[in-house]
Amino acid sequence: MRHIDLIVIHCSATRCDQNFSVTALIRWHEEKFGFTGYHYYITRDGKIYQTRHENLVGAHAKGYNRHSLGICYEGGLDEQGKSADTRTPMQKQALLTLLRRLKKEHPDAEILGHRDLPNVHKDCPCFDARSEYQCLKLFND
């Protein structure tokens, strides 16, 4: 088993008024990496797709892939293509459900957004994941 001490949240950096299905995500990543880099993908309807086995190293956070899991939500850009927290209520609920489960399985994993990692110069995931999911610590402490 891989030891997971980091859970990194991402957005697909696609517009909130455009459909970016799990199939499209898989196709994009397979062209780019030869496999799907995220472990989970959450579409706007709140569906959670496991896109990579947790035991396999992903490709989503340079320098941190070996000991982390990557979760991506569909969206992250507004209608004008600008960075925005476009999560639907269903996506927020799904993220919370998934993170609660993952925290139980990997109790010492820290949850943060891609942009919270050092030397990341993008807005991904376009919201403050670290403070939003701070509360999940309480489940294990």
| Structure-derived torsion over alpha carbons of residues 33, 127, 9, 14, reported in degrees to the nearest 10 | -30
C-beta of 8: minimal distance to Zn ion in Å? Answer: 7
Is residue 106 near Zn ion by the rule CB under 5 A? no
Beta carbons of 40 and 11 less than 8 angstroms apart? no
What is the C-alpha to C-alpha distance for residues 117 and 113, in angstroms, rounded to an integer? 7
116's CB contacts (< 8 A; 6+ apart) are 129, 130
What Å distances lie between residue 29 and 22, 82, 92, CA to CA? 11, 22, 24
CB of residue 38 to Zn ion, shortest distance in Å: 9
Is residue 38 annotated as part of the catalytic site, yes or no?
Answer: yes
| Catalytic (active site) residue 122 | yes
Is residue 10 at the binding interface for Zn ion, with CB under 5 A as the rule? yes
Q: Which CB atom, from 1 or from 74, has the smaller least distance to Zn ion? A: 74
Residue number with CB closer to Zn ion (4 or 13): 13
Interaction between residue 29 and Zn ion (CB under 5 A)? no
* 67 catalytic residue (yes or no): no
Residues that bind Zn ion (CB under 5 A): 10, 114, 124
Q: Which residues are catalytic?
A: 10, 38, 114, 122, 124
